[in-house]
Amino acid sequence: MTDQEKWNRIYSQKKDPGPSNPLLQKYAFLFPEQATTLDLACGLGGNSLYLAQLGCEVTAWDISSVALEKLTAAANKLNLNINTNCLDVRAASFEGKHFDLIIVNYYLDRNLAQALVRALNPSGILFYQTFVQKTADTNKQTGPKNPAYLLEQNELLKLFTDLSPRVFLDLQSTGDTGQGLRNESLLIAEKV
């Protein structure tokens, strides 16, 4: 089964996009106004819809045509315009493309890091949140099992050294593991 078939099968079982990421909402005040935005590996596009509602000009990329059809239907219902593109994302996909804001939520392809930095406009913001390898014991683990798709400790900082970090979370098992963002890491960084 190809990756596209796998994801299409997953999304054919799902209905509406869930709510957008709460940390995306919390830190949206850092994003440029009316940002030209890329939601990379958008899935059903809960984040795309939220950002379009904020006034961003959203482009949403995903390998799953099924997810993108559902996103388009959801956007139409809300009278929002989202520019969807079904593709197997590679570094070359970014050639000639520039955005004020790039969102990557629960997707990890380390080979794209430099292309993401290049695709950001000056003062552009990268919002990157995904799962980590070393999970806090008391929390249930979600997300992929394959370490290739999981971040090492502080890895987002290392992948994006060319950007200036504005918010970084990688709490690991420190302190009260019942609180805070666990099993995931978040980087919000600016191209200065």
Question: DSSP assignment, residue 146?
Answer: -
Kindly state whether residue 128 participates in binding ligand SAM, applying the rule CB under 6 A: no
Give the one residue of 24, 38, 63, 171 binding ligand SAM; rule: CB under 6 A. Answer: 63
Find residue 182's DSSP bridge partners. Answer: none
Q: Which lies closer to ligand SAM via its Cβ, residue 148 or residue 192?
A: 148
Q: Which lies closer to ligand SAM via its Cβ, residue 19 or residue 175?
A: 19
Site string for ligand SAM, 14-43 (x = CB under 6 A): ---------------------------xxx
Q: Which lies closer to ligand SAM via its Cβ, residue 31 or residue 107?
A: 107
Best CA proximity match to 56, nearest among 109, 125, 128, 129 = 125
Q: Which lies closer to ligand SAM via its Cβ, residue 7 or residue 192?
A: 7
Count of residues in contact with ligand SAM, rule CB under 6 A = 15
Q: In what order do the strands lie in the sheet with 164-169?
A: 82-86, 57-62, 36-40, 99-105, 120-131, 184-190, 164-169
Give the one residue of 36, 37, 64, 183 binding ligand SAM; rule: CB under 6 A. Answer: 64
Instruction: Please enumerate in sequence order all residues whose Cβ is within 8 A of that of 38, keeping only pairs 6 or more positions apart, or say none.
Output: 58, 59, 60, 61, 97, 99, 101, 102, 103, 119
End-to-end CA distance of the chain: 42
Kindly state whether residue 184 participates in binding ligand SAM, applying the rule CB under 6 A: no
Closest approach, Cβ 27 to ligand SAM, in A, equals: 15
Output phi, psi for 122, to 5 deg: -55, 140
Q: Which residues bind ligand SAM (CB under 6 A)?
A: 3, 7, 41-43, 61-64, 67, 88-89, 105-107
